[in-house]
A = this chain, B = another copy of it.
Amino acid sequence: MHNKGLTADASSVFQIKIDSTGQSFPCFAGQTVLQALTDGGVFMEANCGGRGTCGKCRLQVLQGKVADPQGLSAVARQEGVYLACQIYPSENLTVAFQEKEASAKGSVSVNFEDDGNPLLKKVVVTPEYPTVENHYSLQEMIGHALKMSGFPAHIPDSPHLIRQLAAAASPGSGPITIVLACGEIIALEPGDSSGSLYGVAFDIGTTTVVGMLVDVRYRSVIATHSRTNPQAAFGADVISRIDAASRADGLEAQAGAVRQCLNQIVRSLCISADISARHIYAAAIAGNSTMEHLLLKVAPVSLTLKPYAAAFRHMAPFPPAEIDLEINPGGKILLLPNIASFIGADTTAAVLATDQDILNSHTLMVDLGTNGEMVLGNRHKLFACSAAAGPAFEGAHIKSGMRASAGAIEDVTISDDVYIRVIGPGKAAGICGSGLVKAASCLLKKGILSASGRFDQNLARTLSPRLAERLRRQDNQWEFVLVPGKDSANGVDIVLTQADVRQLQLVKSAICTGVEFLLEKVCPSKDMPVYLAGAFGNYIDIESALGIGLLPGLRPEQVRPVGNAAGIGAVRALLSREQLARCGHISEKIEYVELAAQPQFQSRFLANLSFPEVSL
């Protein structure tokens, strides 16, 4: 929904038509083609977050002219082939995808790799009905038919399968579709239903729940839908959720809330893609440890009491009824494994998505969600730690804070005055994480904030009048006005207060200290790739992030935003038994570094509260 700055203006809307499907999507002024398609529900992989570096979003413009201001698309591309993230329509366009795969329902997405080991599979057989001579049961008939199809001699051996079999099979009844999950028969359907094979991947965050509907045949995400985690009613962070779970019915209520949320997402996905939820046969779920405990209705209290033990890390695939998920009742829930009490399956999935566990060279992954998790290592050894960053990046505990949705200031530039970019449509209503980091970085550069994190009213005297008037004392603390009330959505000043800066310092120090401790575990090369994961990681301005000292000792060239790595990892696990098994290995392999138990953690945390010194 990132609509750069300007309010939509009918005259500046161009249509982007997808050649293969005939679908058309509006592209508003200031939007890249990638943004327009993403807003239209077309999933395109864009690991670099639209910076023009990963090359994943390339498409061919068949008709119409585009502007390519940075020229990144032009480099070494075929004629007419551009990066969707870099181009703006100059007129209506018709486009085709380079790695195009139209799904059954006409949506379009980039495919995930096929490693030949699918987790879900449909096999259509036309079994030979038993005879008086062979005395086969219908069960053996299916086993035989599967064997003839080149599958090991599976036989359906649970009551619900036998009921489906007895209903589907009669002499001369024709083909039967066998649905396999993890090599196990999970459903038998009359006729040939091989055209409908779906799974859903969930990333259950403390703040946001994202669901992705996957067309398994094409290995592609055909719809995505996200909702605010309704457990927010029980507190913004995991600690308050765990507290709430220990009160009467608090566990049941929170489990019920998130289960309902998952079902709402499933229904929305099914409507978007025009499919039946009965054809969703598996759900891969990545959430942090607390989210997974609450989802399963497992008392999470041990997570917060010393020694901070999770009740579980690994869970065998289990039936949907166990979490009331309304997909095919014979289906499988794949709850991805946790790593430690405060490093959950979302991190496992993010490691899977970024291949940290199989790469020879070291990589660092920093997942900036409500908490911050960091993983550093290579195929031989991985270290992870969790920084209790808190939800400041999601707007909590920040006076004018808000999530990255319509009205949020996502970019700030400070020169003689303050210039902002707002997520449209509408006027500025608050500031989200990326805006916060950028604002702080600018204020530091200008000297309005000192390295110690104080508003420096002395130095402020040298400022331009427009800036100087924005720095003021209110309610016993200094604050900086980003948007005066007359220009804001609700008439209230949008400000950054001294207390907000302190919150940012706490978050920054938590992340920075965690990264420092991890870096000391290995000898990374100076070119070591650093993946910034999480929705926030996608939109943060990397120079600013480095400017406030979030990632100590790292250079901008090293840093690559990788988007919702947890979600991408969950899709991967959903599509492949091998990838699912890798999640187990990742969970086993990672060495958890308990920051609070590290020598000098407290003193280093305090030292890292300061921002880097800026030479003005």
Contact = CB atoms under 8 A, between A and B. Distances in A.
Interface of A: 129-133, 135-141, 155-160, 162-163, 165-167, 169-171, 293, 296-302, 305-316, 318, 322-323, 338, 340-341, 592, 594, 597
A162 B132 contact: no
A474 B434 CA distance: 102
A340 B134 CA distance: 10
B318 A137 contact: no
Contact of A163 (B166, B169, B297, B594): B297
A171 B305 CA distance: 10
Among the interface residues A136, A139, A166, which one has the most CB atoms of the partner chain B within 10 A? A166
Contacts of A306: 132
B139 A311 contact: yes
Contacts of A156: 312
Among the interface residues A296, A341, A594, A597, which one has the most CB atoms of the partner chain B within 10 A? A296
A390 to B, nearest CB: 22
A130 B597 CA distance: 15
A163 B309 contact: no
Q: Interface majority SS on A: helix, strand, loop or mixed? A: loop
A371 to B, nearest CB: 17
A388 to B, nearest CB: 15
Contacts of A298: 159, 162-163, 166
B340 A158 contact: no
Contacts of A141: 309
Contacts of A318: 158-159
Contacts of A162: 296, 298, 311-312, 315
B307 A138 contact: no
B137 A310 contact: yes
Given A157-B312, A163-B297, A163-B299, 10 more contacts: A135-B340, A135-B594, A137-B309, A137-B311, A139-B311, A139-B314, A158-B315, A159-B296, A159-B297, A162-B312
Contacts of A297: 159, 163
A297 B309 CA distance: 43
Nearest to A340: B135
A484 B11 CA distance: 107
A305 B173 CA distance: 14
B322 A167 contact: no
Contacts of A160: 322
B311 A132 contact: no
27 contacts: A130-B307, A132-B306, A132-B308, A133-B597, A135-B594, A136-B309, A137-B310, A137-B311, A138-B309, A138-B311, A157-B312, A157-B314, A158-B315, A158-B316, A158-B318, A159-B315, A160-B322, A162-B298, A163-B296, A165-B311, A165-B312, A166-B298, A166-B299, A166-B300, A166-B301, A166-B302, A170-B302
A138 B302 contact: yes
A180 to B, nearest CB: 16
Nearest to A299: B166
Given A163-B297, A594-B135, A155 B314 contact: yes
Contacts of A340: 135
A315 B139 CA distance: 10
A236 B296 CA distance: 47
Among the interface residues A296, A312, A341, which one has the most CB atoms of the partner chain B within 10 A? A312
Contacts of A322: 158-160
Nearest to A343: B135
B312 A592 contact: no
A299 B298 CA distance: 38
B296 A135 contact: no
Contacts of A309: 129-130, 136-138, 141
A478 B310 CA distance: 82
Contacts of A157: 312, 314-316
A322 B307 CA distance: 39
B166 A132 contact: no
A597 B306 CA distance: 73
Contact of A312 (B137, B296, B310, B341): B137
Among the interface residues A299, A306, A592, which one has the most CB atoms of the partner chain B within 10 A? A299
A313 B137 contact: yes
Nearest to A314: B157
A164 to B, nearest CB: 9
Contacts of A131: 307
A135 B297 CA distance: 22
Contacts of A597: 132-133
A167 B132 contact: no
Contacts of A165: 311-312
A593 to B, nearest CB: 10
Contacts of A310: 137-139
Contacts of A323: 159
Nearest to A167: B299
Contacts of A293: 166
Contacts of A296: 159, 162-163
A338 B162 CA distance: 14
Contacts of A308: 132
Given A166-B302, A299-B167, A313 B140 contact: yes
A314 B140 CA distance: 9
A305 B139 CA distance: 16
Contacts of A316: 157-158
Contacts of A137: 309-313, 338, 341
Nearest to A130: B309
Contacts of A132: 306-308, 594, 597
